[in-house]
Chains A and B, each alone.
Chain A
Amino acid sequence: MTLMPRLIPILQIRGTSAVKTTQFAGARYIGNAVNSMRIYSELEADELIVLDLTESQTRFSARHMSFLESLCSEGFMPLSYGGRVSSVDRAVSLARIGFEKVVLGTAAVEHPRLVSQTASVLGAQAVVLAVDVVADGSGHRVVIDGGSRQTSLSLAERLSEVPADEVGEVLVTSVDREGLKVGLDQRAVHSAVSLTQVPVVVSGGAKSLEDCAIALRMGASAVAIGEIAVSLGGADSTLVHLPPGFDNVQGLVPG
């Protein structure tokens, strides 16, 4: 009996609504965020990542924090929060209201010490390093600000910058595939798995359970899913769910 591979639904939110983006743009309304959380928890999702797309004016308000707290109260699995977290104080506040892990992405690129500072307060297992990428020739380029800005960093360079004992896991998202169900970027999966020693969560474009299983067999510890946890195929068909067979991902991935 060993550690099980994980499928992690991503709950993108804007205000109190659950939304879904495509290449991190064009958020479409899915439903009520609290209802979505409740459903994923009742389905016994392994864990869940909240990506907060709420506009910055509201995102830090007391009312929104109160809403986030009530959102957390509906999830009986580990919850992560990502959304322009750029200070240790903010990370601590989020931990206090119920997020087990805080995702650091753009801010971690812009403030190189943010990761270690956050880890020293919350513990490394509470820190998720998000690395958003787009395919670039034979490699991958790191993008920030929800994919709107390119950096000069490659995926390999970014992953080599972060000490293994300062993060709990790395979340690599292929922004160019996000929301499109074209399949995960297997080259990105391969690079991430071979370039870091901590658990790797991959995301962006997952199109089926088997697609996820391929990434897991390649050594990813988890796949974070978006589109296949909110749509059933047709453009009008929105249903918050987990892909049938999700609770037997273990069976698709030889131990």
Chain B
Amino acid sequence: MDIYVLDLGLGNPLPVARMIERAGGHPRLTSSAMDINANSSVVIPGVGAFDAGMHALRDRGFDSAIAEIADRGTGRILGLCLGMQLLFDESEEGSTPGLGLVRGIVRRIPTGLGVRVPHMGWNPVHVKRDSRLLRFLPPEPRFYFAHSYFAQPVDADLSSLSVHHGLDFCAALEKGNVVGAQFHPEKSHRFGLEFMRGFVRA
């Protein structure tokens, strides 16, 4: 099954595509919404700032295509790092509204908690609930994080992985056919590989 990795002109979608391939999936890069429909599965990679990311999605028509998939399609959506934050209503980082697929606001990691920002490096995650997505994860999973803002879903039950950096926040969420990961599975060795395998083999 094809998994479309959106090329937003920011950063590089190739590492994501390579990890999908290693996980047994068939990645295809696309920079145009004409390549996908409501039954397509897409990955929103994430580099850069919130507003730039939303504009990039909008300019390529991906925002409505993604909304359609979430609304009534059989395809699935995976947002990575900034891509997960874009799923939300809005972010303190920018002024543009997000995709609004998950209720919540993206906030900056507060100062004064005894940790340095950005949250940069490998951090073990806590499995909050089992799910098909997580079934291949090795014991004591950890992933690479690189972000200054975090997205907390209003509905805490959506969070399947959490992480601690000054405070606990959502590391991965699942809502129907919408999945988000705050970390970079494409850069997290075997842990990222098994996370992607969970998405590929839904």
A interface residues with partner B (beta carbon < 8 Å): 1-6, 41, 44, 46-47, 72-73, 76-78, 95-100, 120-126, 164-165, 168-169, 197-200, 221-222
Q: Give the nearest-CB partner of A96 in chain B.
A: B12
Most buried by B among A77, A121, A168, A200: A77
Q: Contacts A73-B18, A125-B147; is A197 near B121 (CB within 8 Å)?
A: no
CA of A121 to CA of B8, assembled, Å: 13
Residues on B with C-beta less than 8 A from A125 are: 118, 120, 146-148
Mask for B143-159, Cβ within 8 A of A = 1, else 0? Answer: 01111100000000000
Distance in angstroms from A39 CB to nearest chain B CB is: 14
19 contacts between A and B (CB under 8 A): A1-B123, A2-B164, A3-B122, A6-B121, A44-B189, A46-B144, A72-B12, A72-B15, A76-B187, A76-B189, A95-B47, A96-B11, A100-B184, A121-B48, A121-B52, A165-B148, A168-B146, A197-B116, A198-B116
Most buried by B among A46, A95, A100, A164: A100
Distance in angstroms from A217 CB to nearest chain B CB is: 15
B residues 2-52 touching A (CB-CB < 8 Å): 10-12, 14-15, 18-19, 47-49, 52
Q: Contacts A121-B48, A123-B48; is A100 near B187 (CB within 8 Å)?
A: yes
Q: Determine whether B192 belongs to the interface, using a CB cutoff of 8 Å to chain A.
A: yes
Q: Is the CB of A221 within 8 A of B118?
A: no
Residues on A with C-beta less than 8 A from B122 are: 3-4, 6, 46
B residues 99-120 touching A (CB-CB < 8 Å): 111, 115-120
Residues on A with C-beta less than 8 A from B61 are: none
CA of A198 to CA of B49, assembled, Å: 18
Distance in angstroms from A249 CB to nearest chain B CB is: 10
Q: Determine whether B60 belongs to the interface, using a CB cutoff of 8 Å to chain A.
A: no
Distance in angstroms from A243 CB to nearest chain B CB is: 17
Q: Is the CB of B142 within 8 A of A4?
A: yes
B residues 167-200 touching A (CB-CB < 8 Å): 184, 186-190, 192-193
Residues on B with C-beta less than 8 A from A41 are: 189
Distance in angstroms from B139 CB to nearest chain A CB is: 13
Chain B interface residue bracket vs A: 35 or more
CA of A168 to CA of B18, assembled, Å: 25
Q: Give the nearest-CB partner of A200 in chain B.
A: B116
Most buried by A among B19, B49, B118, B125: B118
Distance in angstroms from B147 CB to nearest chain A CB is: 6
Q: Is the CB of B118 within 8 A of A76?
A: no
CA of A224 to CA of B10, assembled, Å: 27
Q: Give the nearest-CB partner of B120 in chain A.
A: A199
Q: Determine whether B126 belongs to the interface, using a CB cutoff of 8 Å to chain A.
A: yes
- Among B12, B49, B148, point to the contact of A98 (Cβ < 8 A): B12
CA of A1 to CA of B124, assembled, Å: 6
Most buried by A among B15, B82, B165: B15
Distance in angstroms from B35 CB to nearest chain A CB is: 20
Q: Contacts A120-B49, A169-B120; is A1 near B164 (CB within 8 Å)?
A: yes
The list of the 4 closest CB pairs from A to B, nearest first, reads: A1-B124, A123-B48, A125-B146, A4-B122
Distance in angstroms from A166 CB to nearest chain B CB is: 11
- Among B11, B124, B142, B187, point to the contact of A77 (Cβ < 8 A): B187
Q: Is the CB of A3 within 8 A of B119?
A: yes
Distance in angstroms from B145 CB to nearest chain A CB is: 8
CA of A28 to CA of B87, assembled, Å: 49
Q: Is the CB of A123 within 8 A of B14?
A: no
Q: Give the nearest-CB partner of B193 in chain A.
A: A76
Residues on A with C-beta less than 8 A from B144 are: 46-47, 77-78
CA of A125 to CA of B85, assembled, Å: 15
CA of A41 to CA of B192, assembled, Å: 13
